[in-house]
Amino acid sequence: MKLNRRVFVGTGMAAATSLSAPMVHAASHGKPKVVVVGGGAGGATAARYIAKDSAGEIDVTLIEPSRSYYTCFFSNLYIGGFRELDSIAHSYGTLASDYGINVVHDWATGVDRDARTVALAGGGSVPYDRLILSPGIDFVEGSVPGWDVSAQNAMPHAYKGGSQTELLKAQIMAMPEGGTYVMVAPPNPYRCPPGPYERVSMVAHVLKANNPSAKIIIADPKANFSKQGLFEEGWQKHYPGMITRIGPDFGGENVSVDPEAMTVDIDGEVINADVVNVIPAQKAGLICGAAGLTEGNWAPVSGHTMQSRMDENIHILGDATNQGDMPKSGFSANSQAKVAAMAVRGALTGSRVFPAKFSNTCWSLIDTDNGVKVGATYEATDEKIAKVDGFVSQTGEDAALRKATYEESIGWYQGITSDMFG
């Protein structure tokens, strides 16, 4: 990583001085070109910041198959009836019209790292000086025996935004009286550590109103989970008797499903379920593997710049990365995108580069006006992105604070989505 050393002379304010740019872009094609694959929390933010801050000096192309991005964040609130689906959909219109980003609605199918081009499913390829990949997650095959993506209509994961979320909600609303919802929770690491448990809270919230004798079962391979004390306190208070969690000590890691029979086998005990929400084990979005940038399930990156440890012309963001201590969240992906955008501009146009700083806060809703949060700050070391400081909501907080926390999450949602899409 020669580039790293060149860009980051020392630490602290010393690095915050102007650097003479390496100017790596090919002389033949005028303006330096940045291609971003994936228009989610990481990719949309990175594209917007590079376009905005380079003021026309860099040519930015964003490749994203969907015309609307449905956020996974707040998708649980849609399930709980706190948000309309429309309110969590975002278009790429402003990025194109106000920021001059070239938005291409297509899949990237491969990367030629020597020629520095990205191949598109619709044919043709796009050249880059710097490539940014933020493709989110895909699922590890065979991680829940009996389930594969062809079963996702019978047993939705709802762990990518949009139609899956809608399907899961429809199934929950159609549950027979006193029916059973089973969640197969994922092993670490996975996107949004509190996500499955916020989802259970929101499912319980709708069932309590519409189907109060229904049951919720979580089969969980993890001994502990994010904000556990807060969720368990909330479940006890708002949904007593409705939720059962089967952890690994009772066979929660030994689960298989039968999508046709709609049964879940938890350590030999077969449960007939009405809704089965399978959240499988996860890995980096497929394009990372296809480009040869993964080690195990994830793509290793340097925290200083978010550059791939395997190719210094490629930066990888968000859920797909193995970066160190940050949780896989929209907030994290957005935070990493800003560091990458700064590094890319520094490399391509010689703009000033400052030491990387990261942060994350995840809010979760347990019931009406009962919000909790967990957060931390991070900095880059040579090995990884390392946690500096953190906090988590406390059990027993009063109602005013919990309500303020929930309202803050609404403000955050507004903030991050305008930070991504302009």
Partner 1 sequence: MTKNTGMYASVLGGAALVLGVAYGWTARDYRGEELETLSETLRQLEARNATLAAQIAESDGLEGRIEELEASLAAALQAVEDAQLAAAPPETAAEAAAAESQDTTEVVQTVALEFGDPARGEEVFGQCRSCHQIGQGAEDRIGPHLNGIFGRRAGMHDGFRYSDDMAMMGADGLTWELETLNAYLENPKALVSRTRMNFAGLKDPQDRADILAYLRQFSASPQNIPEAAPTAQAREVELSPEVLQLVGDTDYGEYLASECKTCHQQDGSDQGIPSITQWPTEDFVVAMHAYKRKIRPHPVMQMMANRLSDEEIAALAAYFAQLE
For partner 1, the closer of residues 134 and 335 by Cβ is 335
* Type of residue at 61: T
CA distance 64 to 35: 11
Q: Does 349 bind partner 1 (CB under 8 A)?
A: no
For partner 1, the closer of residues 152 and 361 by Cβ is 361
Q: How far is the CB of 34 from ligand FAD (least distance, A)?
A: 15
Which residues, in sequence order, are CB contacts of 58 under 8 Å at separation 6+?
Answer: 31, 32, 33, 34, 50, 51, 344, 345, 348, 349
Query: Which member of 376, 380, 385, 421 binds partner 1 (CB under 8 A)?
Result: 376
For ligand FAD, the closer of residues 45 and 351 by Cβ is 45
Q: Does 41 bind ligand FAD (CB under 6 A)?
A: yes
Q: Does 354 bind partner 1 (CB under 8 A)?
A: yes
Q: Does 134 bind ligand FAD (CB under 6 A)?
A: yes
Query: Which member of 117, 359, 368, 381 binds partner 1 (CB under 8 A)?
Result: 359
242: tokens are 């409705």
Q: Does 200 bind ligand FAD (CB under 6 A)?
A: no
For ligand FAD, the closer of residues 172 and 333 by Cβ is 333
Q: x/- site string to partner 1, residues 21 to 50, per CB under 8 A?
A: ----------------------------x-
Query: Which member of 225, 331, 358, 378 binds ligand FAD (CB under 6 A)?
Result: 331
For ligand FAD, the closer of residues 7 and 314 by Cβ is 314
Q: Does 129 bind ligand FAD (CB under 6 A)?
A: no
Instruction: Please give the residues from 215 up to 244 whose contact with ligand FAD meets the rule CB under 6 A.
Output: none
Q: Could you say which of partner 1, ligand FAD, none residue 391 binds, taking C-beta under 5 to 8 angstroms by partner kind?
A: partner 1
Query: Which member of 6, 9, 10, 16 binds partner 1 (CB under 8 A)?
Result: 16
CA distance 135 to 148: 20
Which residues, in sequence order, are CB contacts of 126 under 8 Å at separation 6+?
Answer: 35, 61, 63, 104, 117, 118, 120
For ligand FAD, the closer of residues 134 and 152 by Cβ is 134
Count CB atoms within 10 A of the CB of residue 11.
Answer: 12
Q: Could you say which of ligand FAD, partner 1, none residue 108 binds, taking C-beta under 5 to 8 angstroms by partner kind?
A: ligand FAD
Q: Does 60 bind partner 1 (CB under 8 A)?
A: no
Residues of this chain that bind partner 1 (CB under 8 A): 13, 16, 49, 53, 331, 334-335, 338, 342, 352, 354, 357, 359, 361, 373, 375-377, 379, 388-391, 393, 400-401, 403-404, 407-412, 414-416, 418-419
Residues of this chain that bind ligand FAD (CB under 6 A): 37-43, 63-66, 69, 72-73, 75-76, 107-108, 134-136, 159, 191-192, 195, 199, 285, 287, 317-320, 328-331, 333, 362-363
